[in-house]
Amino acid sequence: MTGPLAGVRVLEFAGIGPGPFAGMLLADQGADVVRLERPPSGAPAHREPRFDVMQRGKRSFGLDLRQPAGVELALELVARADAVIEGFRPGVMERLGVGPAECFASNPRLIFGRMTGWGQGGPLADRAGHDINYVALSGALYAIGRSGKAPVPPLNLVGDFGGGGLLLAFGILAALLESRGSGCGQVVDAAMVDGAALLTALFHGMVAEGRWSDERGTNMLDSGAPYYEVYACADGQFVAVGAIEPQFYTALLGVMGLDETDLPPASDQSAWPELKERFGSVFATKTRDEWIALAERTDACITPVLSFGESPRHPHNVARETFVEVGGVVQPAPAPRFSRTGASSPLPPLGPGGGGRAALLDWGVAAQRVEELARAGVVMVE
């Protein structure tokens, strides 16, 4: 693998959602990410490995941490790692014998990345939860939705991935950078509730300034404003409008064929419902693609609302190679991009144990020992 993180070694203790996403981000940029799988449960696998996109670029092997030899091997690998990713509830890694104390004893420079919903401390730390719960407690969910309607879950983008995995990857990289000078490792406590709250920084400033109302669907960015909205078109498809600045708003009206002097001022919030109704009736007269053709060479800030299937085919995304095909599966390409140390194309996800034998050898475990551990059922490799 090439990329700015080439040479960085990461151990990822198998989990779901944000932990694997953080590992994927690091692997995308060249890190050698080895995933430690839990021993097979006996249940048959129902998913082809190639569809598990967040495992791309990683190698893995099964490791039985219930056996002392498994813990010993884990700590041996920790000694050769730059960072660890784990996503268990607080205390689980400690009970397994691979918590921060044991890992720092093996490797004082280690960055120990911990991904949880509620964090390592606090009254909810040991409680179950999912993205929707963390986003709700952060205040973000309350603000997402239309006037008079219930809040709308924003998929699991805000908690799991934006406030979770992405923040964990950022924290690991920040800690790795600091450790180069100090020679010391540390724990990165990445909590999805913290990350989701962090993503609302702009809005807390607006609330304090008196520029944001708790009434959903009445603010500039939450579907309240006519110039920041999604409108239905004649074919049942949608366009997204984001013409906030005056010059872009003027361009928007030009595309719609409306005269600004015949309309109430966009700055008059009491007139927003009237303007939205007027805009909606105009957009309903043409298809989505007809509107996009009219707006193509303008700064009206009109874009088509594309499905997951349509987005990879849009000319802009095609030109930038925003999506790639890996193992026959179309998926987002690694991001961001680097001018000098660009990452290689992602490698297809491997099944459990895929590349594990080679990974162990690369990390300095003798071939004979790998075979002995495999025969004893401590490791499961391909």
pLDDT value at residue 41: 58
Q: How many helices (H) and strands (E) does the chain have?
A: 14, 12
Contact 172, 26 (CB under 8 A): yes
Instruction: Spell out a b/e string for 258-297, using b for 16 or more CB atoms within 10 Å of the CB, else e.
Output: eeeeebeebeeeeebeebbebbeebbeebebeebbebbee
pLDDT value at residue 322: 97
Which CATH entry fits the domain spanning 9-199+323-380: 3.40.50.10540, 3.90.1150.10, 3.40.640.10, 3.40.50.1820?
3.40.50.10540
Q: Is the pLDDT of residue 153 over 90?
A: yes
Q: Kindly report, as residue ranges, where domains of CATH 3.40.50.10540 are found in the chain.
A: 9-199+323-380
pLDDT value at residue 36: 96
Q: Is the pLDDT of residue 44 over 60?
A: no
pLDDT in tens, 17-39: 999 999 999 999 999 999 999 88
Instruction: Determine the 3-state secondary structure of 111 from DSSP.
Output: strand
Name the DSSP letter for residue 141: G
pLDDT value at residue 45: 58
Q: Is the pLDDT of residue 42 over 60?
A: no
Mean pLDDT within 50-55: 95
pLDDT in tens, 156-190: 999 999 999 999 999 999 999 999 999 999 999 99
Q: Is the pLDDT of residue 279 over 60?
A: yes
Q: Is the pLDDT of residue 304 over 60?
A: yes
Q: What are residue 59's phi and psi, to 5 degrees?
A: -110, 160
Mean pLDDT within 230-253: 98
pLDDT value at residue 47: 75
The answer to whether the pTM exceeds 0.85 is yes
Residue type at 371 in one-letter notation: E
Q: Is the pLDDT of residue 43 over 60?
A: no
Class of the 228-313 domain?
A: alpha beta
pLDDT in tens, 310-337: 999 999 999 999 999 999 999 999 999 9
Q: Kindly report, as residue ranges, where domains of CATH 3.30.1540.10 are found in the chain.
A: 228-313
Q: Is the pLDDT of residue 71 over 90?
A: yes
pLDDT value at residue 374: 95
| 39-43, 96-100, 245-249, 366-370: range with lowest mean pLDDT | 39-43
pLDDT value at residue 135: 98
Mean pLDDT within 217-242: 98
pLDDT value at residue 382: 79
Catalytic machinery residues: 130, 160
Pairing mode of beta strands 9-13, 32-37 = parallel
Mean pLDDT within 332-347: 92
Instruction: Determine the 3-state secondary structure of 3 from DSSP.
Output: coil
- Which CA distances in Å does 50 have to 140, 156, 322, 346? 33, 21, 19, 12
Burial tier of 46 (Cβ tally within 10 Å: 0-12, 13-18, 19+)? exposed
> Helix axis angle, 272-283 relative to 246-256, nearest 10°?
40
Q: Tokens 């021993």 identify what position?
A: 39
